[in-house]
Amino acid sequence: MTQPPFRVGTGYDIHPLKAGRPCVLGGVSIPSEVGPDGHSDADVVLHAAADAVLGAAGLRDIGHHFPNTDEACRGMDSALILAAAAREAAKAGWKVGNLDLVVVAERPKLSAHVPAMRSRIAGILEIDPSQVGIKATTNEGMDAVGQGRALAVHAVCLLFRA
């Protein structure tokens, strides 16, 4: 059966924000009074990105590859998770065409950090920063994200046949 040489995948993640937690988003340390809470370094941006890559390749999600019950994953640098997702996709014959992200956060303010996040994510995926889109938006004061108690990320990834 003939298959198209492209695949698209989506990813979504949300983590609570907690006072005193380090704030690492998109692989970049961001000065902030709050940071995402979680088992790994809780880099919600890289988690959503990794799931988009895995989904496009038709592979299982990051919870399957890196269970939050696994002590080995505690405090883990999520750059390793995204790199592993790209490696798994590459094993299946896919390369990342582009990745586009929407970061929904009332705090910290992210716009000044977007260029660094794009470069870092591109570095992890071994692609050009022009292949990584990042938009930062808010939830206009509504729900837990809007009230600054959580941070959510939506991701889309296009893969092409290597």
Reported in sequence order, the residue ranges of the chain that DSSP labels E, i.e. its strands, are: 6-19, 24-25, 28-29, 34-36, 94-104, 132-137, 150-161
Stretch touching Mg ion by CB under 5 A, among 10-18, 95-103, 116-124, 137-145: 10-18
In the complex, minimum distance from the CB of residue 47 to Mg ion, in angstroms, rounded to a whole number: 4
41 binding Mg ion? (CB under 5 A): no
Q: Which of 9, 24, 35, 47 binds Mg ion (CB under 5 A)?
A: 47
| Cα distance between residue 81 and residue 47, in whole Å | 7
Give the total of residues touching Mg ion (CB under 5 A): 2
Characterize 37-65 residue by residue with b for buried, 16 or more Cβ atoms within 10 angstroms of its Cβ, and e for exposed.
bbbbbbbbbbbbbbbbbbbbbebeebeeb
In the complex, minimum distance from the CB of residue 98 to Mg ion, in angstroms, rounded to a whole number: 22
43 binding Mg ion? (CB under 5 A): no
In the complex, minimum distance from the CB of residue 38 to Mg ion, in angstroms, rounded to a whole number: 6
Q: Could you list the residues that contact Mg ion (CB under 5 A)? A: 13, 47
